[in-house]
Amino acid sequence: MARVDLAGFNVDADILKEISASRPGSEDLTPETLSAAYARISRDPRPVGELRRLSRTEVDKARASNERIVFGLGHASVAEHAVFNFDVLEISRLAIEALEAHRLASYTEKSQRYIRLGEDFAIPSEVSARNLSAPFSEFVSRAFSRYALLVARLMASGVPDKMAGEDARYALPLAVHGQLGMTCNARSLEHLVLGLKSSALAEVRELADSFLAVARPIAPSLLRYMIPGPYHLQRDAEVATAVMSLLPDPPVASAAAARTRIPEGDVCLVDATHDGDARILAALAVPTLSCDYSTALASIRGLDHAGRSRLHAAVVARLGAYDALPREYELATMTFEVVLSAAAFGQLKRHRMSSLTTWPYDPTTGITIPPAIEKAGLADVLREGALEAEAMAMRLGGPGDPVASYAVLNAHRRRCLWTVNLREFYHVSRLREDEHAQWDIRLLTMAMSDLARGAFPVCAGHLGGKDIFQPAEG
Ligand SMILES: Cc1cc2nc3c(=O)[nH]c(=O)nc-3n(C[C@H](O)[C@H](O)[C@H](O)COP(=O)(O)OP(=O)(O)OC[C@H]3O[C@@H](n4cnc5c(N)ncnc54)[C@H](O)[C@@H]3O)c2cc1C
């Protein structure tokens, strides 16, 4: 029988400090020993527990071994065995976007939906450097006044307390502070720090320094190459120069055929795997047909819609609300172009098993007005806030300046491309089309589901929120 021994687990830093104080001079309170021991597994036949003991008694050698194996040989996955937890506080909603763009980590953040927000926000150093601290603070204070007004008036119009706060936050800018808990391994952290350090925003670059200040002393051998070079710092500008020289005339916007306009924004399916249904079903059929994939694909292509549906029905016959579709459903991918509010983006960006390509906030894409705000006759309060935010954004440099995004409201829309496979989209659909989902992301996901069903009429047939599953009887 296979044997499993517990080799370690994450423990609260306060307890680790107590342990460290009771063992003066010991250097082995580091995840580097685990990484080093695991790195040796590939070439050392001794049992892994012995390799761990060896690493703990020779921490210097363990560190040298990490450096040689992870960085010298490029056996970088070894660094993934060292894991950190971070409390991240006093961070703007805008900087959270930059942080959470890194997918190989776990985040749990303060919800602007469930928590009534106090007047707590960032004054970015770029804003102070431009002598705009006072007008910026006044702008954010007025946004908080609008938030309070919207909450009070929405509640007075009969909107429940929680929903009032959830919708009123559309009047708040991305400078508002949040907090989050984050878990990340050393390899991801190195990549993340490099990305943050390349940011155009001082707050984001400083965030990188803060991660390093707490993590590097604990695992110096695993956190080494984090200085952005010309590739990271100059690439975007060089791409922009090349685009301008190659395409000097602004293109005429084309009306995309599959564009679905919904009140909350636009969703357009720009690309989908050709014959995705057949590709998925063929991969499922291979083991039974005992043939190669191309042969199975030819056979499945010979089936009519009813035949394909019977095969898909066999997959989902016993599917529960929390079950994932089989991995074969990853063979069909979709790329959506989405114009969505910052509030909805904050939720979409949390789905890590997908590719999200974003462009800077551009207030000309308009704002999303929550239906409850519209119904209560309060839309003008939000519109007035949006105009003020756009004026503030212009003072901060306008759409071409990343600092301007601090003034953008949760209501302001942005454009992004989202590439997702059908398996992950099922997961997103279960969560975001569910009755507990926030209305904005819910409507967007429903629009995307409609497009998915058009692209994959058989295999996308069971999309929908968790609430479409009836509780099992008995
Ligand atoms: C109603 C609702 C309320 C929410 N409230 C909050 C909130 O208050 N605060 C907050 O921070 N978030 C909140 N979220 C976001 C939520 O916690 C998830 O982060 C988000 O829905 C992304 O989904 P996911 O983590 O399941 O997986 P995705 O990132 O979409 O990944 C898909 C699947 O891959 C697997 N996976 C991906 N990464 C990992 C990993 N590192 N380890 C293990 N498995 C992994 C899991 O099986 C996961 O389900 C809320 C979501 C909903 C629907």
Residues 457-470 have pLDDT tens digits of 999 999 999 998 87
Do 290 and 394 fall into the same domain? Answer: no
Tell the burial category of 365 from Cβ atoms under 10 Å away from its Cβ (0-12, 13-18, 19+): middle
Nearest alpha carbon, ligand 1 atom 5: 111
Atom number in ligand 1 closest to CA 347: 15
Around ligand 1, the residues with Cβ closer than 6 Å are 106-109, 111, 114, 350-353, 424, 427, 431, 436-437
Do 416 and 386 fall into the same domain? Answer: no
The verdict on residue 395 lying in a domain is yes
Q: How far is CA 404 from the centre of its chain?
A: 22
pLDDT digits (tens, 9 = 90+) for 215-239: 999 999 999 888 999 999 999 999 9
440 CA distance to ligand 1 middle (Å): 17
Q: Which of 107, 187, 351 to mutate to test the pocket of ligand 1 (most atoms within 8 A of CB)?
A: 351
Q: Which of 183, 427, 430, 432 to mutate to test the pocket of ligand 1 (most atoms within 8 A of CB)?
A: 427
The verdict on residue 94 lying in a domain is no
169 CA distance to ligand 1 middle (Å): 22
Alpha helix (H) residue ranges in 179-292: 186-197, 202-215, 230-246, 276-289
Residue 6: CB atoms within 10 Å? 5
Measured between its terminal Cα atoms, the distance across the chain in Å is 37
- What integer is the mean pLDDT of 257-263? 51
108 CA distance to ligand 1 middle (Å): 9
Q: Is the pLDDT reported for residue 284 higher than 60?
A: yes
Phi, psi of 273 (to 5 degrees): -55, 125
Phi, psi of 230 (to 5 degrees): -60, -30
**What local confidence, expressed as pLDDT, does residue 161 receive?**
92
The verdict on residue 209 lying in a domain is no
CB 349 within 8 A of CB 103: no
Helix, coil or strand: residue 160: coil
Phi, psi of 85 (to 5 degrees): -115, 140
Do 364 and 455 fall into the same domain? Answer: yes
Do 423 and 463 fall into the same domain? Answer: yes
CA–CA separation, 125 and 133 (whole Å): 9
Atom number in ligand 1 closest to CA 111: 8
Helix, coil or strand: residue 191: helix
pLDDT digits (tens, 9 = 90+) for 410-457: 999 999 999 999 999 999 999 999 999 999 999 999 999 999 999 999
Query: Under 8 Å CB-to-CB from 199, ≥6 apart: which residues?
Result: 98, 205, 208, 402
Query: Under 8 Å CB-to-CB from 125, ≥6 apart: which residues?
Result: 202, 203
Residue 255 confidence class, pLDDT cut points 50, 70, 90: low
Q: Which of 323, 352, 421 to mutate to test the pocket of ligand 1 (most atoms within 8 A of CB)?
A: 352
Residue 264 confidence class, pLDDT cut points 50, 70, 90: low
Atom number in ligand 1 closest to CA 428: 30
Q: In which order are the strands placed within the sheet that holds 106-109?
A: 83-92, 177-185, 106-109
351 CA distance to ligand 1 middle (Å): 6
Phi, psi of 445 (to 5 degrees): -65, -40
The verdict on residue 73 lying in a domain is yes
CB 132 within 8 A of CB 406: no
427 CA distance to ligand 1 middle (Å): 10
CA–CA separation, 160 and 145 (whole Å): 19
**What local confidence, expressed as pLDDT, does residue 364 receive?**
82
DSSP states along 45-62: -S-HHHHHHHHHH-HHHH
The verdict on residue 319 lying in a domain is yes
Q: For the chain, what percent of residues have pLDDT higher than 70?
A: 96
Q: Is the pLDDT reported for residue 262 higher than 60?
A: no
The verdict on residue 139 lying in a domain is yes
**What local confidence, expressed as pLDDT, does residue 260 receive?**
54
Q: Is the pLDDT reported for residue 342 higher than 90?
A: yes
Helix, coil or strand: residue 119: coil
pLDDT digits (tens, 9 = 90+) for 190-208: 999 999 999 999 999 999 9
* Count of residues in the chain: 474
C-alpha distances in Å from residue 99, one per residue of 106, 145, 172, 359, 374: 11, 28, 20, 16, 33
Q: Token pair for residue 56?
A: 């703990």
Domain that holds residue 319: 276-328
Do 381 and 441 fall into the same domain? Answer: no
Q: How many domains does the chain have?
A: 4
437 CA distance to ligand 1 middle (Å): 13
Least confident of 162-171, 174-183, 223-232, 464-473: 464-473
Helix (H) or strand (E) holding 161: helix 161-168
Do 298 and 348 fall into the same domain? Answer: no
456 CA distance to ligand 1 middle (Å): 25
Do 76 and 167 fall into the same domain? Answer: no
Q: Which of 386, 408, 430 is the last residue of a domain?
A: 408
106 CA distance to ligand 1 middle (Å): 8
Instruction: State the Rg of the chain over Cα.
Output: 26
Q: Token pair for residue 232?
A: 């990271």
Q: Is the pLDDT reported for residue 318 higher than 60?
A: yes
Q: Which of 96, 329, 350, 441 to mutate to test the pocket of ligand 1 (most atoms within 8 A of CB)?
A: 350
pLDDT digits (tens, 9 = 90+) for 46-98: 999 999 999 999 999 999 989 888 888 888 899 999 999 999 999 999 999 99
**What local confidence, expressed as pLDDT, does residue 136 receive?**
98
Residue 98: CB atoms within 10 Å? 23
Nearest alpha carbon, ligand 1 atom 24: 351
- What integer is the mean pLDDT of 160-180? 97
CATH assignment of the domain containing 459:
3.30.70.3180
Q: Is the pLDDT reported for residue 286 higher than 80?
A: yes
Nearest alpha carbon, ligand 1 atom 27: 351
Q: Is the pLDDT reported for residue 257 higher than 50?
A: no
Q: Is the pLDDT reported for residue 474 higher than 50?
A: no
Q: Is the pLDDT reported for residue 252 higher than 80?
A: no
CA–CA separation, 331 and 421 (whole Å): 7
**What local confidence, expressed as pLDDT, does residue 241 receive?**
95
Do 368 and 452 fall into the same domain? Answer: yes
Atom number in ligand 1 closest to CA 106: 41
DSSP 8-state secondary structure symbol assigned to residue 308:
H
The verdict on residue 225 lying in a domain is no
Burial 423-434, CB ≥16 within 10 A → b, else e: bbbbbbbbbbbb
The verdict on residue 435 lying in a domain is yes
Angle between helices 276-289 and 305-316 (to 10 degrees): 70
Atom number in ligand 1 closest to CA 113: 8
Query: Under 8 Å CB-to-CB from 131, ≥6 apart: which residues?
Result: none
pLDDT digits (tens, 9 = 90+) for 274-283: 999 999 999 9
Q: Which of 56, 82, 108 is the last residue of a domain?
A: 82
429 CA distance to ligand 1 middle (Å): 12
DSSP 8-state secondary structure symbol assigned to residue 353:
S
Do 456 and 428 fall into the same domain? Answer: yes
Q: Which of 48, 82, 116 is the last residue of a domain?
A: 82
Helix (H) or strand (E) holding 98: helix 93-100
Do 340 and 460 fall into the same domain? Answer: yes
Do 413 and 437 fall into the same domain? Answer: yes
Do 265 and 282 fall into the same domain? Answer: no
